[in-house]
Structure 1
Amino acid sequence: MAKHKVFISYDHSEDALYKRLLQAWDANDKFDFEFDSRGPDVAINSTEASVIQASLTKMMKSATHILVIVGAKSHESDWITWEIDRAKQSDTKLKLAAIKLEKANKTPPGLLNVGTAWATSFTLDRIIDALDDATNTY
C-alpha cells in the first residue's frame, strides 16, 4: 500500500498533547504527518488568516489524507471547520479520517454523512486502520 501523507487537523489550544504523540509516531514508514505551525491564538477572521490559509492549502494539496483529532471543543473551532471544508474541495479532495478523544465529544459537522473513516481508539494501529479505510467519495 502507498504511504499516506496525512494533514492533521486539531484544536491547537486543547489537544496539542495528541499532536505531540503523533509527531513521535511520525517515524512509522506507513505515513507522513503534516502539521501546521500557526499559533492557536490567530483568529480565522484576522488579517493574518489569509496567509495561514494559503500555507495550509499548500500543505493539504501535498497530502493524501486529513486526520481530524476530535477533542471536547473541536466542533466549535472555526479553523477545524475551515480545514475540513477545504479538504473536501475538488482541488484538494483529501481522504477523510478522524479519531474522537472521548466518545461523548461532539463531531464537527463537516465529518458527518460523508463516509469519514473513524479510528476506534487513539492507538497507532487504529489510526493506521482508519487511514487505510479512508475515502474521498463524499
Structure 2
Amino acid sequence: MGGGSGGGLSSYDIKRLEEQAKRKLSEAKGDASRHVFISFNHEDLDEVNLLRGQAKNDKVDLQFDDHSVKEPFDSANADYIKRQIRDKIDRCSVTVVYLSDKAASSKWVNWEIEESIKRGKGVIGVYKGDKSPTNVPPAFQQNGCKSVKWEHAALMKAIEDASTKR
C-alpha cells in the first residue's frame, strides 16, 4: 500500500528551508558576515554599486551578503514587484537604506523600510558626507531608525547592532 499522496514540500518550500538552515549554521559558527538588503532610489545606483564593491574587496573589513534587487524589475505590476522584494527582504536580517534626497522622496524606499520593519528586520541608514541628512524617508524617521556615515567600521557595527536588536 505504498503511495504518493502528494503531501511533499514544494521546491519553493525546500529552498526556503535550506536558506534558513544555512543562516542558522552560519550564525552558530559566529560568521562575521551579515545578510543585508540595500534599499535605495534607482538613480543612486552608481553610488550603491560602490558600496557593494567595497564589501566584496578582500582588503577591507566590510563584510555583508547583499540580497538586494540588482536590476529594476521589468514589470508595471506593483503586486509582482512587491512579492519579489519581500522575498529578498525575508532572506536578510538587516535593511541598509542608502540615504539621499532621491531616496527621501521615493515611495518604494519608504515601502521597503515599512516592509522590513513589519517583517522584524533591523533598519539602518548610511550616508555619504560629513553630516547626517535632514531629509529622510518618512518611515525611516517615524520608526526612529539610526544612520551612520559611510565608513567601514561604523557601518559594520551598525549592521551588527541592528541584526542583534531586532
TM-score (norm 2): 0.67
Structure 2: runs of 5+ lacking an equivalent? 1-29
CA distance in 1, matches of 2:105, 2:71: 18
RMSD of Structure 2 on Structure 1 (CA): 2.3
Q: How many residues align?
A: 128
- The structure whose RCO (Cα within 8 Å, separation 6+) is larger is 1
> Quick check: which one's helix share is greater?
2
1:15-94 mapped onto 2 (5 Å cutoff): 15-27=44-56, 30-39=63-72, 47-89=76-118, 92-94=119-121
- Percent identity among equivalent residues? 20
CA contact (8 A) 2:99 2:133 kept: no
Q: Which residue of 1 aligns with 2:41?
A: 11
Secondary structure of the 1:112 match is helix
Q: Which residue of 2 aligns with 1:97?
A: 124
CA contact (8 A) 1:117 1:133 kept: no
Q: Which amino acid aligns with 1:50?
A: D
Quote how far apart the aligned CAs of 1:130 are: 1.3
CA contact (8 A) 1:8 1:35 kept: yes
Q: Which residue of 2 aligns with 1:116?
A: 145
Q: Hey, which bits of structure 1, 4+ residues long, moved more than 6 A?
A: none
Q: Deviations over 1:97-119 (max 9, x none)?
A: 11133534401111125342321
Quote how far apart the aligned CAs of 1:6 are: 0.3
Q: Which amino acid aligns with 1:98?
A: G
Q: Which amino acid aligns with 2:143?
A: V
When Rg is computed on C-alpha atoms for both structures, the one with the higher figure is 2
Q: Deviations over 1:69-109 (max 9, x none)?
A: 111121210100110111111xx211111113353440111
In structure 2, the CA distance between the partners of 1:113 and 1:53, relative to structure 1 (3 Å rule), is closer
TM-score (norm 1): 0.79
Structure 1: runs of 5+ lacking an equivalent? none
Q: Which amino acid aligns with 1:124?
A: H
In structure 2, the CA distance between the partners of 1:49 and 1:18, relative to structure 1 (3 Å rule), is same
Q: Which amino acid aligns with 1:126?
A: A
